[in-house]
Structure formats: C-alpha cells, structure tokens
Amino acid sequence: MLDINYIRDHADDVRQAAKNKNLNPQVVDEVLRLDEERRHLIVKVEQLRATKNKLTRDQVDEGRRLKQELKDIEPELKQVETAYTDLMLQVPNPPAEDVPIGPDESANKVIKTWGDTPKFDFNPKPHHTLAENLGLYDAKRAVRIAGNRAYFLKGDLVLLEQAILNYALAKMVAAGFTPMTVPWLVNRDTLVGTGYFPWGEADHYQTQDGQGLIGTAEVSLTAYHTGETLSYKQLPTKICAVSPCFRREVGSYGKDTQGFFRLHQFTKVEMVVYTEADEALTRQMHDQMLEISQSLLQELKLPYHILLMCTGDIGAGQRKKYDIETWFPSQNAYRETHSDSYFNDFQSRRLNIRYQDKSGTIKHVYTLNNTVAATPRLLAAILENYQQKDGSIKIPEVLQSKMGKEIINGK
C-alpha cells in the first residue's frame, strides 16, 4: 500500500506505473475521488459532533436534529471508507527508476551470465526421462492419486533433494539469517498484507475456513512482525525458512506439463529481510541477497544468467526484481529458478510493521525477499547438467559428502 499523501502528490507517476505494470490506471482516479469524499465527510462528522457537544441542556430539539444528522452521515462515511480502503489495496507500487519499461518478458534485460554450458557427446535427455529411467520418479501413479502436475520422487532423488535444501539452509545460517518454521496456512489478511491478494487470489488454494495455502514462505516470514513497532537496533532483521509451497498455476495450462518443473506443490528455502526506510540501503541488501543465490549456483557449478525484470513482468507490489535462470540442456535454454525482489514500505504499510529510528521517529520498515533454493526445480537442473552418457547422474561435488556417494545409478 502506498501513502495516500504520495498518491495525491504523484498521481501522474502512479497512473503511469499502473499502465507500465499492465494494471488499470483508473484505480488511481477512483482512490483520489473517494479520498476527497472521505475527508469531506470526516470534517462534516467532526463539526457535527463538536457542535452537539457544545449544546446546553435546554437545546433539546437542536440536539435531536444533530443526532439524526450524524446517524445519517456516519454510515455513509463508513461505506466510503470501506470502498476507499479496498481501492487503496489495488494501487500498485511504482517501479524503481532503473527498471526497464516493457509489456512482458521480452523487455527483460540479461545483466550477467555465469558458467560454461555443458558440452555432451550425446543428446542430453530431459530431467524427467532421466529420473524415470533410473526408477526414481513416478508421475503416472501421482497423477492417478492427485491429478495433473503431481509427482513422486523416490530413493536417491529424495536424498539429493534434501541435500540441496539442507545445503541452502546451512548457507543462510552462515550468512546470519535466523532459520524458522512457518505456518503453511495463513489468514486472508496476511495474503492481502503481503500483496498477494487481490492480484494473485486466483492462483492460491483456499480453505472453507477462509485461509490460504502459502505459495512461498515469504508470506509468513514477511508478516511475522505484523502490527509491531521494532527498534532500529533490530534492523536489518534477517530470517529464512524451509517450507512447502502451493500454487494453482492459473494461466499456465499447457506449459511445462512434463516432468517436475512447474508444479502445484514444491519446497523452497526463502529469505526475507526488513531494513530501515532507506532505499539506497535496501538496494545494497537486494544485491547482497542476489549474491547468496549466485554463490549457491556457483558452488553447485550450474550455469545461469541474471535478468533485470521489466515493468510488465514484475508484481504489482515489487519495486525492483531480479530473476536468476539456470541452464537446462534438454531445452537449450535458461529457465527461472530464483527471484529476488524489494518493496520499500509497500508490504509493511499493509501489515503495519514499523520501527523507531535513532531520532525517535516512527517509520515503516522496508521489506525484501529472495529465493535461495526451490526444489524439485533446482533438482531438475542438476539432473540435466550432471547427466552421464549411461543415464547415471553425477552428484555435485559439494553435495557428495551429504549423499555418501558420487554417482546416482538408480534403482
């Protein structure tokens, strides 16, 4: 959520931001209209209350008239305030100045490429074929039990997946992040507060109790201090979690239907940071978080490139976003495995997370989040890049001690 004062003073910028993010700019005009109506009604109600309080005991008729007038206006004010709040939640965060303007992924910019893509003296197979041939992946039984995009991993693939997650979590602890377990079911207010609702509501599984399954631990981690005021001494707050993630994958019909790349359920190590209300400081942290994800891929020796995402390919609440795409030999393409974003106070205003700075001033914290490792997507990248001619999989060197072996031969 943006500060209404910012919207009033930068209405044209916010309208343009909505257009650049492929959202409706008219929401800005409607917010400003309701804001003006709301302020007018608030003044009127306050004046009526003040006048009523000044009446003497013998002014009974006037008191009754004012009481009735208040009774007529107060419900109107409540209705306007409800509509105003709902629309404020639909106003997007303007992108940072260095974010490319473009309608879709075609305008994203590659800013770094790392690693040599592997050269094979055979035709590289896709990850799901490799896993099936090794007897370590079963989609047929999973689909029969749970529907499309379901999967079973077995044996060494389960152990390799856990090795990836444990390696990533240990890296976060070494970087000064506090590991946490998080709720997988959260209240609607939390999904609204983190900015996933209203825009992403269709892509979330929801229960009959009005809760939603998280699509990332970012939701629970970011909301951890909801309604609290921290001290500047607590910043930056650096937390991380391993959690299952659930997504309906609305709009992805026909995309990545084979294998375990795009799924309804997966596991992720996620990091979240609160910083002081200083965008320069936040941008430094944003880049540092990106370095952690890069170091993981470099240690796994997986080729990747980094994209600076354009306005049409970032979320409504994101101020700036990097994606890391890892090389998939069978597709002869880089595919997304990591996402690194910052929001300024967009999320913290919605969640009311504040801090007291050194001067005693109360401000909203700035928030960031980043993927450390998402599996089995990252597992799929390892299978493809480390495949051998005989169909076996060489285990990345940094994970061999955790696996107790160097090669996965299957069954």
Rounded Cα–Cα distance for residues 279 and 285 (Å): 10
Per-residue pLDDT at 53: 80
Asked if the peptide bond before residue 100 counts as cis, ω within 30 degrees of 0, the response is no
Domain architecture of the chain: domains with CATH: 4-88 (1.10.287), 105-408 (3.30.930.10)
Element housing 355 (H / E): strand 354-356
Radius of gyration (C-alpha) of the chain in whole angstroms: 26
Question: Residue 258: its pLDDT value, please?
Answer: 85
Residue 72's identity, in one-letter code, is: D
List of long-range contacts for 170-178, beta carbons under 8 Å, 24+ apart: 171/292, 171/295, 171/296, 171/372, 172/240, 172/269, 172/271, 172/292, 172/372, 175/238, 175/292, 176/238, 177/238, 177/239, 177/240, 177/271, 178/238, 178/239, 178/240
* Distance set, CA 335 to CA 119, 241, 330, 362 (Å): 18, 23, 11, 42
- What the block records as the tokens of 40 is 């007018």
b/e code 306-336 from CB counts within 10 Å (16+ = b): bbbbbbbbbbbbbbbbbbbbbbbbbeeebbb
Nearest Cα neighbor of 91 from 145, 168, 14 is 14
Q: Residue 331 in contact with residue 380, Cβ under 8 Å?
A: no
SS3 letters across 200-254:
CHHHCCECCCCEEECCCCHHHHHCCCCCCEEEHHHCCEEEEEEEEEECCCCCCCC
**What's the pLDDT at 305?**
98
Sheet strands (E) in 125-184: 137-138, 152-153, 178-180
CA angle 190, 193, 196 (to 5 degrees): 85
Strands 320-328 and 407-408: unpaired
Beta pairing partners, 338 = 324
Identity of residue 178:
T
Give the whole-angstrom CA distance, residue 403 versus residue 395.
8
Q: Report pLDDT for 411.
A: 63
pLDDT in tens, 353-404: 999 999 999 999 999 999 999 999 999 999 999 999 999 999 999 999 999 9
CA distances in angstroms from 314 to 47, 99, 123, 335, listed in the order given? 45, 10, 35, 16
Question: What residues are annotated to the active site?
Answer: 247, 262, 336, 339, 377
d(CA 55, CA 69): 15
The list of the chain residues with pLDDT below 70 reads 411
What does the alpha-carbon distance between residue 105 and residue 311 come to, in Å, rounded to a whole number?
9
d(CA 314, CA 230): 29
CA distances from 96 to 282, 293, 375 (A): 12, 22, 30
